[in-house]
Structure 1
Amino acid sequence: MSATPADPADYARNHWRKFESAQEHAERVEAAEQTAGRYFASATAQQRQTFTDTMEFLRAFSGPMWDRRRAAAKAAWEQTTAGARTLFEITADEIMRDGEVSEATSLAWDVLAEIAEQQPAPFTPTVHHQPQVSL
């Protein structure tokens, strides 16, 4: 497996082919990102669904408490998909460099997907309404 690029855009900058036009290079970058994105989407489907459901639920509420809950949901998304983001970069880099995903990286995606399937479903917040007291 190749080393993780220092900057996510490194795979786009570092793998120009001789006599490749800017348009051809941009098309290769887009194709690499689409392929890596499919791996990412597959490996993070459960986290994406939890995040989407949580944000949809929180959409109806406003105020600092709800903003904190939205921030917590975003932080959970970032934390639970960190490995997949790293593999996305590795995958895109390999595709740009070699034209394909290595067996080691493909195996890493498979392992990541298996781990995600074995994880318990993340907690989805609920609202408990306090009864209003008449004065």
Structure 2
Amino acid sequence: MSDPADYARSHWRQFESPEEHAERVEAAERDAGWYFAQATKAQRQTYTDTMAFLRGFSGPIWERRRAAAQATWEQTTAGAAALFNITADEIMRDGEMSEATRLAWDVLIDQAEHAPAPFTPTTHHQAQAGL
């Protein structure tokens, strides 16, 4: 799927009002979002911890480090984000996700639960001021 919002623009039902369609989109995103959250707990915690650590910085250093944290979040959650879009699309189209998509989530969540703990910066790991 080229545009993540395609599922929101597609899959209108005959005689569906804009409000009803919006409710279905919201429900699909809520359901897909639950799986996304389960599969990205470690990445979310790392991102949250990193942003908390960065509160002590300002100016260009903060901007560079914030951009790096956001890039890391996007890179490490790209698979889950793509699966989120597939899930929301299937729910909008079929009213439920397929067994193949459910299995993909199960595998992704299982991998996340068994992955080594990610590095989280602390005050003991402050990088050089020039970074």
Tell me the amino acid that sits aligned with residue 44 of structure 1.
Answer: T
Correspondence 1:16-55 to 2 at 5 A:
16-55=12-51
**Equivalent residue runs for 1:50-61 within 5 Å:** 50-61=46-57
Letter in 1 for 2:95: G
**CA positional deviation for 1:129:** 8.8
Structure 1 position 81, deviation (Å): 0.2
Q: Which runs of 5+ in 2 are unaligned?
A: none
What TM-score comes out, normalization by structure 2 length? 0.89
Counterpart of 1:127, as a letter, is Q
Higher helix share: 2
Q: Aligned to 1:76, which of 60, 72, 76?
A: 72
Highest CA radius of gyration, 1 or 2? 1
1: CA distance, partners of 2:78 / 2:29: 17
Higher mean alpha-carbon deviation, 55-64 vs 20-29, is at: 55-64
- Which of residues 48, 62, 65 in structure 1 aligns to 2:61? 65
Q: How many residue pairs end up in the alignment?
A: 126
What is the root-mean-square deviation of aligned Cα atoms in Å? Answer: 1.6
Q: Which runs of 4+ in 1 moved over 6 A?
A: none
Partner SS, residue 118 of structure 2: coil
Following the alignment from structure 2 to structure 1, what is the Cα–Cα distance between the partners of residues 10 and 128?
54
